[in-house]
Structures are given as C-alpha cells and as structure tokens.
Chains A and B, each alone.
Chain A
Amino acid sequence: MVEEKVNIFTISELTDYIKDKLEGDSKLINIWVKGEISNYTKHSNGHLYFTLKDETSQIGCIMFKRSASSLKFEPKHGMKVLVLSSISVYKPYGKYQLVVSEMHLEGQGALHQKFLQLKEKLEKEGLFSKEFKKPIPKFPKTIGIITSQTGAAIKDLISNLERRFPNTIKLKPTLVQGNGAAKDIVNSIEILNKIQDIEVIILGRGGGSLEDLWCFNEEIVARAIFKSKIPIISAIGHETDFTIADFVADIRASTPSTAAEIAVPDKNELLINIKHLQERLLSKTKKTIELKEQYLISIKDRPIFKRPFDFINQYLQQIDDLALRSNRAILNSLELKRKGLEIITAKLHSLNPKAVLSRGYSITLNRGKIVKTIDDVKINDLINIMIQKGEIKSKVMEVKNGK
C-alpha cells in the first residue's frame, strides 16, 4: 500500500544522503568554532576525542593524531578553545561531529587569526619577497641593536658579539613587550636609520608567549622593518615560532646568539685564515726564489761557461768547413761555365758562312750585297763570287727566272 506509492530509503541510503549534504556544504568546511572542552579523552592511538559546548548546545569532536601532534598545549576539561574544523558524519552511529585540524586557546586563537590575516596581506604585497632582502655586510664596524635594556637578549647579544668580533655597538633601549612596544620599535628603527655609520641592525627579544611577542606581529613594525635602509636581522627568541617581523626582516636568526653569528665573522677563524694566507705567501715566495736559484746554477753549469774555448773552436771548425765547401762550389760552377762556352763556340763555328764555303758552296755579292734573288742583279752587272779560297769576278750575261 504505502510501499507502492512512496520512495522508501534504507538507513544507509538516508545516512549517505545526510553525509553528502553536510560534508558537501562549503559553509561547514574549514570553519572556526569556539567552545568549551568537556569529556576529553586521549586515545592510546594518539587521536583526541572531546565535546565542545556552550550554554545550550554541544558537538562531538575528534582531532586526529596528525593534527594533534602540532598542539602547543595539553587540552583539558573546561578549557575555552577556538578550533579550525569541518563537519563530518560518522555513519555507524549516525552522528555528526567536528574533525578538528587546529586548536588554540581562546584569545590566542583570535590573535592567531589576526596573525594569519596580516601575514597573508603582507605576503601578497611582497613585503617578504627575496628581491627586497638587503645583503648583510660581512664586516660591519658599527652595529645597531634594538631591544630591551634589561632582558636576557641584550646580554647574550653583547657577549656573543664581543667574543666573535669586538666592534662598536649602538644600543637603542626599546620596549619589546606590552602597550606601546610596537610604536617604540618603529621609532627606534627610524632613529637608527638616521645614524650614518650603522651598517646592520639587530632587532631582538628573548622568547615568550604569543601575547608577549605580539608587538612583533604588528603591521606598523613590519612596515618599519621593510622601510629601513639598513639591513635588519630579527632575533626574536623562539626556535620554532615565526613572527611577522621575522618574515619581513632581511634575515631571521632563531636566537640572539645566532644573530651575533650572522652579524659578525668569528675573530679566531679570521686569524687562522690570515695565518694560512701568510703561509701560502711565504711558501710561494720561497719556491720562486729556489726556482730562480736553480736556474742560475743550471746556467753556470752549462759547457759554455765551463770550457769557453771549446765553443770558439767549434765555430772555427765550422768556418773552415764552410770555406772549403764554398771553394768547391765556386770551382764547380766555373767548370760548368767553361763547358757551356765550348758548346756555344762549336755552335757559332758551324754557323760561320765561310765554313759553308768549305763544303763547296759559294756566295755571290753585287756591290757588296749578297745576291739572293734574280732581282738583285741586272745584265752587265759586275759581281763577285766568293769560294773557299778566293774570289771570281764575273759579268752577268743573262738573267733567267727559274723555279
């Protein structure tokens, strides 16, 4: 009857639906909730179970071991706390509960939130960026210190600075806790910035609770640190907790003595370093002198300095040798030239026209000119015919063209 008309859920289906609704609601994820702790138990596996309540309501809470391990205090029944948490539904019991990821004591929780908000804001503005970090000088002659005149930090700083590298300290006693501390710190940073020879500033304080250190989380302090032209080392005495000042400072030291280590070099290390340099100087110079000395000795030992005439004789011998060779060369070339001359003479001889006559040829001359063609003579010309031994005078009887 009824079953046919309406949709019926199983318990699991209904619980799943509720779980999805609650856990999917962004208003119920990562929310800050304040309340008083009751029914606190720490399970042997490290998870914390408790209830948070106010006058009229209560919600069961669980803080898993992973989150609980970063707690800075031991939660107790009756404590007023602020938690960062999300709603979840535990199906086996059909129970909604808060899964807590962070827990702070009330008051501190508010401060912590303020801290996170300011941190996020300044980070976005770039106040923590590496590009704005000023380099810390290696050997500052004058160091400015901003801290309380009475705290442990100042004694620590001064004694560590003196032990490492004694120099000039300009101390500006400053309130570092309570009302007016932030303003006083800002004022001190500004005053030290007006003193010419200060090369680095240490902003220090011994450890303390979040409230004690609060002035270092104030925006005006952060901005004054950022504005400072002199690099600032923050030394706000907590190994683990960072303040906003630590993020803005050019470098953060975890303790005042670490700040001294960052600010100045160690005198004894420097002395050792200088001694090493001296030794290197000495050994290299010694080596150079020894090398030059050895070179001098090796020169003195060379044969030329020991038996100089050997050297000269050697040259004399070379000269003789060269003379001999040049003589021979001259003679050779004369002989060659003489032979060449003979060949040329023989050639000339064979070309002498008289030599041709000896072979029975003759030369005909007409008025001293050699007759080569029939145009060179006319009838009745008196011509001379030269033969080997003598001359025949003749008269041209006839001129005939021949081939």
Chain B
Amino acid sequence: MVNEKGSFEENLKKLEKIVKNLEGGELPLKETLECFEEGINLSKQCTRELETAKQKIEKIEK
C-alpha cells in the first residue's frame, strides 16, 4: 500500500494524516489494523530515507 515513489514530504504528510485519522475516532478493528500497517510502513520509509540521505554537490559552470 505504501507508494515507494512518494516524496519524503508526501509520505510524512500521509503518515501524519493516518495518525490523526486513527486518533480522531473509533475506527473498526479491520481499518485500524490497516491504518497501523500503512503508518508503520510509511514511518519506516521516511526514517530510512533520512538515514541514508547523502549530500550531492554539483557545480554549474557556464
């Protein structure tokens, strides 16, 4: 369910939305578990992205 191509920003926003949605009301168990799974995947992906990020410097000569 996690969109591997989503940007860090999109994934973080999605994660925040899922947590808010989950905390906002009493969802049925099935949906709660689905949200949980998606949220955990998103958070793992965001964390991985941050931890593996490397600076790239490109010089523009013209």
Contacts and interface: CB of A to CB of B under 8 A. Distances in A.
Nearest to B39: A281
A63 B62 CA distance: 51
A195 interface: yes
Contacts of A158: 55, 57
Contacts of A87: none
Given A139-B7, A284-B22, A169 B43 contact: no
A141 interface: yes
A274 interface: yes
A284 B39 CA distance: 12
Contact of B62 (A139, A168, A191, A288): A191
A173 B43 contact: no
B59 to A, nearest CB: 5
Contact of B56 (A168, A191, A192, A288): A168
B3 to A, nearest CB: 16
A277 B54 CA distance: 24
Interface in A271-285: 271, 274-275, 277-278, 280-282, 284-285
Contact of A169 (B36, B47, B57): B57
Interface string B26-62: 1101001101100110010011001101111111111
Q: Which one of A166, A168, A275, A277 has the highest number of Cβ atoms from chain B below 10 Å of its Cβ? A: A277
Contact of A274 (B26, B47, B54, B58): B47
Given A281-B19, A289-B29, 19 more contacts: A166-B54, A168-B55, A168-B58, A169-B57, A171-B57, A171-B59, A172-B59, A172-B60, A267-B50, A271-B50, A274-B12, A275-B43, A277-B39, A278-B43, A280-B22, A285-B36, A288-B26, A289-B32, A292-B29
Contacts of A139: 7-9, 12
A138 interface: yes
A191 B32 contact: no
Nearest to A192: B60
A270 interface: yes
A162 interface: yes
Interface in A163-182: 165-173
A225 interface: no
Contacts of A281: 18-19, 22, 35-36, 39-40, 43
B29 A277 contact: no
Interface of A: 138-139, 141, 158, 161-162, 165-173, 191-192, 195, 267, 270-271, 274-275, 277-278, 280-282, 284-285, 288-289, 292
Contacts of A162: 55
A169 B27 CA distance: 44
28 contacts: A139-B7, A139-B9, A139-B12, A141-B7, A161-B55, A165-B50, A166-B54, A168-B55, A168-B57, A171-B59, A172-B59, A192-B60, A270-B50, A271-B47, A271-B50, A271-B51, A274-B15, A274-B46, A274-B50, A277-B19, A277-B43, A281-B18, A281-B40, A285-B22, A285-B35, A288-B26, A288-B27, A288-B32
A143 to B, nearest CB: 10
Name the 8 nearest CB pairs between A and B, nearest first.
A166-B55, A285-B36, A139-B9, A281-B39, A166-B53, A162-B55, A168-B56, A288-B32
Contacts of B27: 288
A151 to B, nearest CB: 15
B21 to A, nearest CB: 10
A168 B15 CA distance: 24
A284 B21 CA distance: 11
B23 interface: yes
A211 B48 CA distance: 47
A270 B18 CA distance: 17
A287 to B, nearest CB: 9
A161 B53 CA distance: 12
A169 to B, nearest CB: 5
B31 to A, nearest CB: 10
Nearest to A288: B32
